Homo-oligomer: A and B are copies of this chain.
Amino acid sequence: MGKRYTMPYEVAYYDGDITKKMTLPSMLAVVIRTSEEQSAMLGRSAEYIGSLGLGWVITNYEITINRLPRVGEKIDITTEAMSYNKYFCYRNFWIHDEAGNECVLIKSTFVLMNKENRKMGSVSEEIIAPYESEKIKKIQRSEKIEKVENSQSHQYSVRYFDIDGNQHVNNAIYFNWLLDVLGYDFLSTHQPVHVNVKFDKEVEYGHVVESHYDIVEGEAELKTRHEIRIGDQLYCEANIRWQEI
């Protein structure tokens, strides 16, 4: 098993939506802070990785939500680098409330990207050893993402403040584009219970993305399907299951 790291966090008013529950964009931004802190503590900061000409890129999240933390609530965010193979690193995040209940589980896949040619690099012992995660042969496949069929869409321009210190669009911003299309009436009356999202290509400053979606109402569940596209190029895809508030 890998080393675990836990960061306490108090959910701020600006992390909440109109229902005073933590938004997915805020949750993902804060969660990634935990892995950045752990990496820095282990001498594997973004600066160190950058000095090797590499950078971490997240390729997908699978998020299971028992309940969303509320504004003002004190939570613990725990992370562990679970396992890795030649190209992929699998990292989990857990959010627990003060009573120790698991609110959220996030499974993620990280890859190393060569900053010059934007190609995937293999995971070296040098980089990964301090995390003490398990070396595996198998490539873990995440749940298949269903395509959008009869889509509606909105356009979003990448804004200057969407770009972070790593020079690319912060992953959390994609959730803003993915979800905003669903609109006030839907978002204020539903909350996500399961999210499966895959990042295919990196959106850059100057891009105008189209956020496509459709809503599938099954007997037992409500599901939305999403694609972030520019023209016929796919940048990000997601399936989200919802429950009524």
Contact = CB atoms under 8 A, between A and B. Distances in A.
Contacts of A167: 18
Counting from the closest, the 9 A-B pairs by CB-CB distance are A14-B29, A20-B165, A159-B180, A16-B165, A160-B187, A18-B163, A160-B180, A12-B33, A23-B161
Interface of A: 12-14, 16-20, 23, 25, 29-30, 32-33, 36, 71, 154, 157, 159-161, 163-167, 170, 172, 176, 179-180, 182-184, 187, 205-206
One complex includes copies of this chain to the number of 2
Contacts of A33: 12-14
A157 to B, nearest CB: 8
Contacts of A160: 17, 179-180, 182-184, 187
Nearest to A188: B160
A13 B154 CA distance: 28
Which of A20, A71, A160 gathers the greatest number of chain B CB atoms within 10 Å? A160
A97 to B, nearest CB: 19
B170 A17 contact: no
Contacts of A170: 14
Nearest to A19: B165
Interface residues of chain A: helix, strand, loop or mixed (majority): mixed
A161 B184 contact: no
A182 B160 CA distance: 9
Given A184-B205, A205-B184, A164 B13 contact: yes
A18 B183 contact: no
B165 A18 contact: yes
B23 A165 contact: no
A171 B151 CA distance: 33
Contacts of A180: 159-161
8 contacts: A13-B166, A14-B30, A17-B163, A17-B165, A18-B163, A19-B165, A23-B161, A71-B165
A23 B165 CA distance: 11
Nearest to A166: B13
Contacts of A187: 160
Contacts of A182: 160
A205 B164 CA distance: 26
A172 B23 CA distance: 16
Given A12-B30, A13-B166, A160-B187, 8 more contacts: A12-B33, A13-B33, A17-B160, A17-B163, A18-B163, A154-B157, A160-B180, A184-B205
